[in-house]
């Protein structure tokens, strides 16, 4: 559904509203296949994938990130340090060991972002965000939401700028490229 006629996107306190353009896909788990939508979107990436994850335990999503990297897509991950270092099931260390650059967020009590930016520097880049953690439980057991926001370059740019600000504050994970 195109939302351009109905609202503007407000970013930051006192920030200038961004025009609402493009399309919005809305998914709710456990009813909708949010994991499948993420995997398909990762399969569309041609140039880059920027990940901001609180938790990543989904084997399907991890595999889709590895496959993207194998076909030449630049994949970079920001993750919450506590969830990576204390969580037995985090797949972030495995992805780092396989050559995907990973930075760990340490500045915040919780780095709770759940964002995927696909081809963010291109005219048709898009944002995936919502409450959905990149886990099996988020799909099968939890009540979660996911938005896929396409063809809104100004919005994608704001998300990419925020991703880069977080990366600049984060620590490179040892063993990561």
Q: Which residues are within 8 A (CB) of 67 and not within 5 positions of it... i.e. 6 or more apart?
A: 42, 43
Q: Which helix (H) or strand (E) holds 50?
A: strand 48-53
124 given a catalytic annotation: no
Per-residue tokens: 77? 């991950």
119 given a catalytic annotation: yes
**Which residues are bridge partners to 56 per DSSP?**
134
Q: Name residue, tokens 């799909």.
A: 139
**Diameter of the chain by CA atoms?**
48
Is the separation of the CB atoms in 73 and 49 below 8 Å?
yes
Exactly one of 50, 80, 114, 166 is catalytic; name it. 114
112 given a catalytic annotation: yes
Per-residue tokens: 52? 């901001």
Q: Name residue, tokens 């988020």.
A: 138
Exactly one of 119, 124, 161, 172 is catalytic; name it. 119
Q: Which residues are within 8 A (CB) of 85 and not within 5 positions of it... i.e. 6 or more apart?
A: 104
Exactly one of 33, 46, 112, 151 is catalytic; name it. 112
| Residues labelled as active-site residues | 112, 114, 119
């Amino acid at each position: 559904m195109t939302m351009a006629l109905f609202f503007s996107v407000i970013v930051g306190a006192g920030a200038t509203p961004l025009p609402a353009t493009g399309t919005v896909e809305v998914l709710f788990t456990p009813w909708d296949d949010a994991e499948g939508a993420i995997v398909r979107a990762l399969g569309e990436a041609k140039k880059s994938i920027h990940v901001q994850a609180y938790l990543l335990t989904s084997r399907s999503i991890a595999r889709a990130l590895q496959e993207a990297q194998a076909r030449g897509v630049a994949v970079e991950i920001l993750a919450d340090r506590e969830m990576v270092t204390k969580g037995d099931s985090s797949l972030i260390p495995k992805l780092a060991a396989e050559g995907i650059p990973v930075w760990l967020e340490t500045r915040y009590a919780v780095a709770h972002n759940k964002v995927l930016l696909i081809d963010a520097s291109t005219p048709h880049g898009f944002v995936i965000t919502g409450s959905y953690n990149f886990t099996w439980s988020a799909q099968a057991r939890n009540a979660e939401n996911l938005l896929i926001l396409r063809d809104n370059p100004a919005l994608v740019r704001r998300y990419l700028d925020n991703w880069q600000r977080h990366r600049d504050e984060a620590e490179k994970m040892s063993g990561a490229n």
